[in-house]
């Protein structure tokens, strides 16, 4: 499943970023960071479309040889980025969508926490375990 | 003639006539050339067509089991000829078939390079043609298929770098093709542009480098084999992709393993000489150029980081630093601290290896800072190095550096040590995230000039160990204050950086240090802003080597804005700290303050009686009393209309100090800097101002008192300028309303007057002022068209009017001329001279002129007037004389009749017709004999003018009385009794 999951603040700094421990963490950081180019572009292309009609899921941001990067943006411009192994062809668009929805729900829970200050880095066990569940190899 | 010669020529050359092309000697050869071109083209077409046919006929004899390789060859040939024939569709089709055939070949370690080489060639051709046909998606799909098929075909493990190189080449070639297509008009998008292919090519090039590094580092004893196994007799290969030492061998078995080994070794040794970094950097820079075009700033930054790292590996540290430095701020502003730390770490290595002092210090500052994600032990090491550098010692080498480079670097550092000169490095830290944070805060947004200006500098260190600094100084926009705001510790250089936790010059990690500064503002700076332009913190010793951390403004760095925002949003309880400590987040930067004048200790009172009356000399008494402890001098008063109001008010308002004479237009609306004598403590003075307001409405008046006083502050004597102002809004109203009406001599309202016939002008002056008014005099100034019947004497002189009271006057006038004037005849002016009853005698009276209304004058043909006593008495004769005046130039015929009345008997002509000559007068005499007492109707006189039917009796009644008071019949002696009563 996912090899890296990131939550990016409206101002484009990372709120949460986690990748599989087996690989170079820095690589994923760069990958998520560069994917923001595409996210920015997609958001600006959406322009002034009505908020309720807007699709939050941005789809495949850009493919690399080894990974696929997907994006999702909330109405408050918080971005979720997920990196998936290219070889994992079993993963359908719909599943990615539902993973993002799960992520969004969990993020909403974090935001609902009165002790969480929006804009701070996310340090939540519930969120952590949810991300872990998304990163477990299914096969 | 010509055709004959042509035929002869053709004959001689055994050519058909068609093949002869004539090029004449003219300037216009285009047509001939096109003809020639077409002929060549046709020939070429035919040639390639036959070539294709030839190859195809060969192909028919092939069979799949034994001639598999030839299938590919033939297919490629057909495709290639088709391409030359400019039949690109067929060419593409044949190339595709050829490509599929290549992958049908059995791949083995021995031929895999050949297969890949061929596949690469054919793939290149297919992609090129697809772009040419404007089907870029086909090209991309083909390329993806190609890569997916070949990715795993690594071949010999010992030569795996060769595969990586090949992969890199594939991506690069495709990138080139893509780029070329774009230059010819194809549009690429952000997520699909040549940059991605160059980037991937660079990654494979890096992989190649890695593999080469592990595979091609034999011991020093290994030498290049001789004879060279890569040498061929012809100097070139017969077939692309084959090994030079076994060309044309189809068998999968290795006939000579020893030879194979030598060959591989030769390739490995050759690979060692390849400058990989150069290849990688070229590819990366290609990719950067592409991503720049397609709005991918972050991708660009990432690639530049990789370029920088590659330069670092290539030991070109200058270039590496330049690139890394360039992108650092992008990551810093976006707050990607992990990435920034990684870049900084590389940059620190570069600067160490080059012994670039300033860069080394700058990167250390930031790596020790809170944005750095380094572990504490790393930070400790860096801090120690930094302290060493500042003490003019060599730092420890950075980990994972190339050994040889470290040796060179150590030598360079040693040179620095021996130089030991004084070198000061100033680092502007507001764009970095240094390990010392700074906030400057004035105690108040403004300070009075007689109070010392105070501010705090808060410092906090984020490094793992306490650090000492040698100097802290603050610069202001007015540099004269700089000297007062310096903290310096005079200590020997060696002591400066010792890790003492005591002492005021020491910053303990995580603790907020506060430094209070105090200085006296200059009196010239009153009304100005004092701004902290920079804060300098000096680490190390100024005599030796030191670094100046320079914050522009009141502190703050690249990360502090966001942190402050987060802190302001946060509602987390901050743990309680001892009283003398503060929370860093709770300190807000306040980098500027205003110097304001000293609080005045005088009172200004205004005494006046509002509202002001139009045009009067309104008296405003200003009382200034000093409450100062010492004598005040240079007291100046500015008073008048407050500036910034309606411009018209300025012209209609005058202020003067002299109330005895009326002020005119030349007086200003604002009197400035009226000198007033000095005041001793407690003393008070009064100043009277006169204001003349020409129009009604409200005005704001300003009374501003300024003075100088000498005070002592912080044992220094300063002269302060203080001022106090008062504003007052004064309403101006009309003092009175004047109503004018015209009435007949019978006090009947007149809409028009009749020429030459006297009428009355009544003026009514109604006081609207809340204060009593004295009418000094009044005067009627008649227009030339009017004449007075009797003396025009004022009847209201010296009259005092209270609010709401009115004074009336009555003048009897006559309008002599009787030209019919449009809009009536001017009457004149009514001038009233007045003042407030309460005003001092010395104040002049104000004269207000009122223009009287115009009146319509009409001529009448006949004027009748009556002479009769003021009263009658019952049964006593009452003589009445009517004067009939002809006012026309005509002889007038008229009928006069007198109608009897119940109250009178009368004698005289009851009915008569008479004639009056122009300008003359006829008298009619009657004797009325009253019968009843009281106000009685007189027998009415009716006159009928034959020439002027419009002259009615109605009009007549205006001139003559219609009734009279008749007293009852009295007894003699009555008068005496009345007189007695």
Indicate whether B51 belongs to any domain: no
B408: alpha, beta or left? (left if phi > 0; alpha if psi -120 to 50):
alpha
ipTM for the predicted complex: 0.93
CB pair distance less than 8 Å for A64 and B190 = no
Nearest to A29 among B191, B295, B336 (CB): B336
Torsion of CA A124, A129, A135, A137, to 10 degrees: 170
CB pair distance less than 8 Å for B566 and A120 = yes
Residue written as token pair 């003589």: B879
Query: Any chain B CB within 8 A of the CB of A12?
Result: yes
Q: A66: number of CA atoms within 13 Å, CB side? A: 10
CB pair distance less than 8 Å for B339 and A34 = no
3-class SS of residue B355 = coil
CB pair distance less than 8 Å for A13 and B336 = yes
Cα-trace Rg, chain B? 59
Distance of alpha carbon B887 from alpha carbon B916, whole angstroms: 10
Distance of alpha carbon B331 from alpha carbon B308, whole angstroms: 15
Distance of alpha carbon B549 from alpha carbon B542, whole angstroms: 13
Distance of alpha carbon B251 from alpha carbon B243, whole angstroms: 13
* Terminal Cα-to-Cα distance of chain B (whole angstroms): 168
CB pair distance less than 8 Å for A117 and B203 = no
Q: Which residue of B has its CA nearest to A114?
A: B571
Task: Choose one of B421, B450, B475: the last residue of a domain.
Answer: B421
Count Cβ atoms within 10 A of the Cβ of residue B195 and give its class: 0-12 exposed, 13-18 middle, 19 or more buried: buried
pTM above 0.90, yes or no: no
Nearest to A65 among B200, B297, B298 (CB): B200
Tokens, residue B906:
């009368």
- With beta carbons under 8 A apart, name residues in chain A contacting B203: 65
Q: Are strands B856-858 and B752-754 parallel, antiparallel or unpaired?
A: parallel
Quote the minimal CA–CA distance from B135 to chain A in Å: 20
Indicate whether B573 belongs to any domain: no
- With beta carbons under 8 A apart, name residues in chain B contacting A65: 147, 200, 203
- B765-795 burial, b at 16+ Cβ within 10 Å, e below that, comes to bebebebebbbbebebebeebbeeeeebebe
Do B520 and B633 fall within a single domain?
Answer: no
Q: What pLDDT, on a 0 to 100 scale, did the predictor assign at position B119?
A: 92
Torsion of CA B330, B331, B332, B333, to 10 degrees: 50
Indicate whether B666 belongs to any domain: yes
Distance of alpha carbon B652 from alpha carbon B668, whole angstroms: 10
Do B839 and B872 fall within a single domain?
Answer: no
**Number of helices and strands (H, E) in chain B?**
20, 41
Quote the minimal CA–CA distance from B304 to chain A in Å: 12
Using alpha carbons, list the distances in angstroms from residue B686 to B611, B676, B722. 21, 10, 19
Quote the minimal CA–CA distance from B302 to chain A in Å: 7
Q: B856: number of CA atoms within 13 Å, CB side? A: 6
CB pair distance less than 8 Å for B572 and A13 = no
Contact yes or no for B602/B625 (Cβ under 8 A)? yes
Nearest to A34 among B298, B342, B570 (CB): B298
Do B867 and B849 fall within a single domain?
Answer: no
Alpha helices by DSSP H, B188-296:
194-215, 257-272, 276-293
Do B514 and B543 fall within a single domain?
Answer: yes
Quote the minimal CA–CA distance from B461 to chain A in Å: 22
Tokens, residue B601:
């200790």
Tokens, residue A32:
């998520």
Q: Which residue of B has its CA nearest to A30?
A: B302
Query: Any chain B CB within 8 A of the CB of A10?
Result: no
**Which residues of chain B are modeled with pLDDT < 70?**
218, 220, 420-422, 490-504, 817-822, 971-981
Quote the minimal CA–CA distance from B341 to chain A in Å: 10
Indicate whether B890 belongs to any domain: yes
Do B469 and B355 fall within a single domain?
Answer: no
Quote the minimal CA–CA distance from B587 to chain A in Å: 19
Quote the Cα angle for B83-B89-B90, to 5°.
Answer: 70
Give the best residue of B141, B164, B189, B191 to mutate against chain A (max A CB count within 10 A).
Answer: B191
CB pair distance less than 8 Å for A117 and B570 = yes
- With beta carbons under 8 A apart, name residues in chain A contacting B191: 38, 61-62
B702: alpha, beta or left? (left if phi > 0; alpha if psi -120 to 50):
beta
Indicate whether B643 belongs to any domain: yes
Residues with Cβ within 8 Å of residue B976, at least 6 apart in sequence: none
Distance of alpha carbon B364 from alpha carbon B432, whole angstroms: 11
CB pair distance less than 8 Å for B339 and A119 = no
Residues 21-50 of A with CB under 8 A from B: 25-26, 29-30, 33-34, 36-38, 41
- Cis peptide bond prior to B955, omega within 30° of 0: no
- With beta carbons under 8 A apart, name residues in chain B contacting A34: 296, 298-299, 302
Q: What pLDDT, on a 0 to 100 scale, did the predictor assign at position B324?
A: 93
- With beta carbons under 8 A apart, name residues in chain A contacting B433: none
Do B805 and B905 fall within a single domain?
Answer: no
Do B378 and B443 fall within a single domain?
Answer: no
CB pair distance less than 8 Å for A11 and B569 = no
CATH code, domain with B831: 2.60.40.10
CB pair distance less than 8 Å for B339 and A61 = no
3-class SS of residue B691 = strand
Q: Which residue of B has its CA nearest to A120?
A: B566
Q: What pLDDT, on a 0 to 100 scale, did the predictor assign at position B497?
A: 44
Indicate whether B271 belongs to any domain: no
Residues with Cβ within 8 Å of residue B150, at least 6 apart in sequence: B116, B119, B120, B167, B170
CA-closest candidate to residue B701, choices B623, B634, B622: B622
Torsion of CA B478, B481, B483, B486, to 10 degrees: -110
Do B459 and B560 fall within a single domain?
Answer: yes
Give the pLDDT band of residue A76 (cuts 50, 70, 90): confident
Contact yes or no for B706/B635 (Cβ under 8 A)? yes
Contact yes or no for B303/B291 (Cβ under 8 A)? yes
Residues with Cβ within 8 Å of residue A112, at least 6 apart in sequence: none
Quote the minimal CA–CA distance from B89 to chain A in Å: 30
Indicate whether B187 belongs to any domain: no
Q: Which residue of B has its CA nearest to A11?
A: B334
Quote the Cα angle for A9-A10-A13, to 5°.
Answer: 45
Q: What pLDDT, on a 0 to 100 scale, did the predictor assign at position A53?
A: 64
Distance of alpha carbon B779 from alpha carbon B828, whole angstroms: 11
Do B405 and B546 fall within a single domain?
Answer: no
Q: What pLDDT, on a 0 to 100 scale, did the predictor assign at position A16?
A: 92
What's phi and psi for B434, nearest 5 deg? Answer: -75, 170
3-class SS of residue B336 = coil
All domains in chain A, ordered by first residue: 2-134 (3.30.450.70)
Do B714 and B755 fall within a single domain?
Answer: no
Do B897 and B796 fall within a single domain?
Answer: no
Residue written as token pair 């002022």: B769
Quote the minimal CA–CA distance from A37 to chain B in Å: 5
For chain B, how many residues are written?
981
Residue written as token pair 């972050």: B298
Count CB neighbours of B504 within 10 A. Answer: 10
What is the 8-class DSSP label of residue B398?
A: P
Q: Which residue of B has its CA nearest to A28?
A: B339
For the stretch B68-107, pLDDT in tens is 788 888 889 999 999 998 888 999 999 999 999 888 888 8
- With beta carbons under 8 A apart, name residues in chain A contacting B295: 37, 41
Sheet holding B878-886, edge to edge: B862-867, B878-886, B921-930, B904-907
Chain B residues bordering chain A (beta-carbon distance below 8 Å): 147, 190-191, 196, 200, 203, 295-299, 302, 305, 331, 334-336, 338-339, 342, 562, 565-566, 569-572
CB contacts < 8 A, A to B, total 66
CB pair distance less than 8 Å for A13 and B334 = yes
List, in sequence order, every residue forming a beta bridge with B624; answer none if it has no partner.
B604, B685
3-class SS of residue A85 = strand
Q: Which residue of A has its CA nearest to B151?
A: A65
Q: Are strands B633-641 and B697-713 parallel, antiparallel or unpaired?
A: antiparallel
Residues with Cβ within 8 Å of residue B772, at least 6 apart in sequence: B800, B801, B802, B803, B836, B837, B838
Distance of alpha carbon B386 from alpha carbon B398, whole angstroms: 12
For the stretch B393-451, pLDDT in tens is 888 888 888 888 889 888 888 888 887 666 888 888 888 889 999 999 999 999 988 88
Q: Which domain holds residue B684?
A: 602-728
Distance of alpha carbon B346 from alpha carbon B366, whole angstroms: 13
CB pair distance less than 8 Å for A41 and B190 = yes
CB pair distance less than 8 Å for A26 and B299 = no
Distance of alpha carbon B452 from alpha carbon B595, whole angstroms: 10
Nearest to B299 among A13, A34, A65 (CB): A34
CB pair distance less than 8 Å for A120 and B565 = no
- Number of domains within chain B: 5
For the stretch B581-603, pLDDT in tens is 788 888 888 889 999 888 888 99
Q: Which residue of B has its CA nearest to A42?
A: B190
Count CB neighbours of B473 within 10 A. Answer: 18
Nearest to A29 among B147, B295, B339 (CB): B339
Do B586 and B649 fall within a single domain?
Answer: no
Distance of alpha carbon B367 from alpha carbon B369, whole angstroms: 5
Helices B160-183 and B194-215 cross at an angle (nearest 10°) of 160
CB pair distance less than 8 Å for B297 and A37 = yes
Indicate whether B130 belongs to any domain: no
CA-closest candidate to residue B946, choices B901, B906, B891, B902: B891
For the stretch B794-806, pLDDT in tens is 888 888 888 888 8
């Amino acid at each position: 499943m996912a090899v890296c999951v990131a939550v990016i603040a409206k101002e484009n700094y990372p709120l949460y970023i986690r990748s599989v421990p087996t690989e170079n963490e820095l690589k994923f950081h760069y990958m998520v960071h560069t994917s923001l180019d595409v996210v920015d572009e997609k958001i600006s292309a959406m322009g002034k479309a009505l908020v309720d009609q807007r699709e939050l899921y941005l789809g495949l941001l850009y493919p690399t040889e080894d990974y696929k990067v997907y994006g999702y943006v909330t109405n408050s411009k918080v971005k979720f980025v997920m990196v998936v192994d290219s070889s994992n062809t079993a993963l359908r668009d719909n599943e990615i969508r539902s993973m993002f929805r799960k992520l969004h729900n969990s993020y909403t829970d974090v935001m609902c926490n009165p002790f969480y200050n929006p804009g701070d880095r996310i340090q939540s066990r519930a969120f952590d375990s949810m991300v872990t569940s998304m990163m477990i190899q299914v096969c | 003639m010509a055709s004959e010669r042509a035929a002869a020529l053709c004959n001689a050359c055994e050519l058909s006539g068609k093949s002869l092309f004539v090029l004449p000697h003219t300037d216009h050869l285009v047509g001939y050339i096109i003809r020639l071109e077409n002929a060549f083209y046709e020939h070429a077409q035919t040639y390639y067509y036959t070539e294709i046919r030839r190859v195809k006929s060969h192909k028919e004899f092939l069979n799949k089991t034994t001639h598999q390789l030839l299938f590919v060859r033939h297919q490629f040939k057909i495709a290639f000829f088709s391409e030359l024939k400019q039949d690109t569709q067929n060419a593409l089709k044949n190339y595709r078939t050829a490509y599929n055939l290549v992958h049908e070949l059995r791949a083995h370690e021995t031929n895999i390079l050949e297969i890949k080489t061929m596949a690469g060639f054919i793939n290149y051709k297919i992609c090129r043609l697809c772009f040419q046909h404007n089907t870029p998606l086909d090209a991309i799909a083909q390329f993806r298929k190609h890569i997916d098929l070949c990715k795993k075909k690594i071949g010999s493990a010992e030569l795996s770098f060769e595969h990586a190189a090949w992969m890199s080449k594939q991506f690069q070639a495709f990138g080139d093709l893509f780029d070329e297509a774009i230059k010819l008009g194809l549009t690429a998008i952000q997520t699909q542009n040549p940059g991605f292919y160059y980037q991937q090519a660079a990654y494979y090039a890096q992989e190649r480098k890695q593999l080469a590094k592990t595979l091609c580092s034999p011991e020093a004893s290994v030498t290049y084999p001789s004879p060279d196994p890569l040498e061929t007799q012809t100097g070139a290969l017969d077939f692309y992709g084959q090994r030079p030492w076994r060309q044309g061998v189809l068998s999968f078995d290795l006939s000579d393993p020893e030879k194979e080994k030598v060959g591989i070794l030769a390739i490995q040794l050759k690979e060692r000489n390849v400058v990989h970094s150069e290849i990688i950097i070229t590819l990366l820079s290609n990719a950067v150029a592409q991503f720049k075009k397609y709005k991918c700033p972050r991708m660009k930054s990432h690639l530049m980081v990789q370029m920088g790292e590659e330069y670092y590996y290539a030991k070109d540290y200058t270039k590496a630093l330049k690139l890394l430095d360039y992108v650092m701020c992008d990551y810093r502003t976006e707050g990607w601290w992990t990435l920034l730390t990684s870049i900084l770490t590389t940059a620190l290595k570069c600067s160490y290896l080059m012994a670039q002092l300033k860069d080394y210090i700058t990167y250390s500052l930031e790596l020790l800072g809170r944005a750095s994600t380094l572990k504490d032990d790393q930070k400790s090491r860096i801090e120690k190095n930094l302290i060493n550098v500042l003490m003019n010692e060599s730092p420890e080498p950075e980990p994972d550096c190339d050994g040889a480079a470290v040796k060179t670097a150590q030598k360079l550092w040693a040179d620095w040590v021996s130089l030991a000169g004084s070198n000061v490095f100033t680092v502007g830290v507001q764009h970095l995230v240094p390990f010392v944070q700074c906030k400057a805060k004035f105690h108040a947004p403004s300070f009075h000039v007689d109070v010392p200006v105070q501010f705090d500098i808060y410092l906090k260190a984020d490094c793992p160990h306490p650090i000492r600094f040698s100097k802290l100084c603050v610069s202001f926009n007015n540099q004269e204050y700089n000297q007062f705001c310096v903290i310096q510790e005079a200590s020997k250089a060696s002591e400066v950086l010792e890790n003492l936790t005591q002492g005021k010059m020491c910053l303990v990690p995580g603790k907020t240090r506060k430094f209070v500064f105090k200085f006296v503002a200059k009196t010239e700076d009153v009304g100005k802003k004092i701004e902290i332009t920079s804060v300098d913190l000096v680490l190390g010793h100024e005599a030796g080597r030191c670094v100046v951390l320079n914050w522009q403004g009141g502190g703050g760095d690249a990360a502090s804005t966001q942190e402050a925002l987060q802190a302001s949003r946060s509602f987390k309880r901050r743990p309680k700290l001892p009283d003398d400590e503060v929370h860093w987040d709770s300190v807000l930067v306040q980098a500027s303050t205003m110097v304001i004048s000293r609080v005045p200790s005088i009172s200004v009172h205004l005494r006046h009686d509002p509202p002001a009356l139009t045009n009067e000399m309104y008296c405003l008494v200003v009382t200034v009393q000093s409450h100062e402890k010492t004598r005040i001098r240079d007291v100046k008063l500015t008073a008048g209309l407050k500036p910034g109001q309606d411009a018209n008010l300025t012209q209609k308002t005058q202020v003067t100090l002299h109330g005895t004479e009326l002020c005119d237009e030349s007086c200003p609306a604002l009197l400035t800097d009226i000198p007033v004598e000095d005041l001793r403590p407690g003393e008070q003075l009064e100043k009277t101002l006169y204001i003349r307001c020409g129009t009604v409405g409200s005005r704001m008046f300003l009374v501003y008192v300024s003075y100088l006083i000498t005070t002592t502050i912080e044992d220094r004597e300063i002269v302060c300028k203080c001022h106090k102002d008062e504003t007052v809004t004064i309403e101006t109203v009309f003092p009175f309303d004047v109503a004018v009406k015209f009435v007949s001599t019978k006090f009947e309202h007149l809409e028009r007057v009749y020429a030459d016939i006297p009428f009355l002008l009544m003026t009514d002056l109604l006081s609207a002022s809340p204060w009593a008014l004295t009418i000094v005099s009044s005067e009627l100034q008649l227009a030339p068209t009017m004449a007075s019947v009797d003396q025009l004497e004022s009847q209201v002189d010296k009259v005092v009017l209270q609010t709401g009271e009115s004074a009336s006057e009555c003048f009897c006038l006559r309008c002599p001329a009787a030209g019919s004037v449009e809009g009536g005849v001017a009457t004149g002016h009514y001038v009233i001279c007045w003042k407030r009853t309460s005003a001092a005698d010395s104040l002049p009276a104000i004269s207000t002129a009122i223009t009287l209304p115009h009146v319509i004058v009409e001529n009448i043909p006949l004027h009748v007037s009556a002479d009769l006593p003021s009263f009658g008495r019952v049964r006593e004769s009452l003589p009445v004389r009517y004067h009939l005046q002809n006012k026309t130039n005509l002889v007038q015929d008229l009928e006069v009749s007198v109608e009897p009345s119940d109250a009178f008997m009368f004698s005289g002509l009851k009915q008569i017709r008479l004639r009056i000559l122009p300008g003359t007068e006829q008298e009619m005499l009657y004797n009325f004999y009253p019968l009843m007492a009281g106000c009685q109707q007189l027998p009415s006189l009716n006159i009928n003018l034959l020439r002027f039917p419009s002259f009615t009796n109605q009009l007549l009644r205006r001139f003559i009385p219609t009734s009279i008071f008749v007293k009852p019949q009295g007894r003699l002696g009555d008068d005496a009794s009345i007189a007695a009563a």
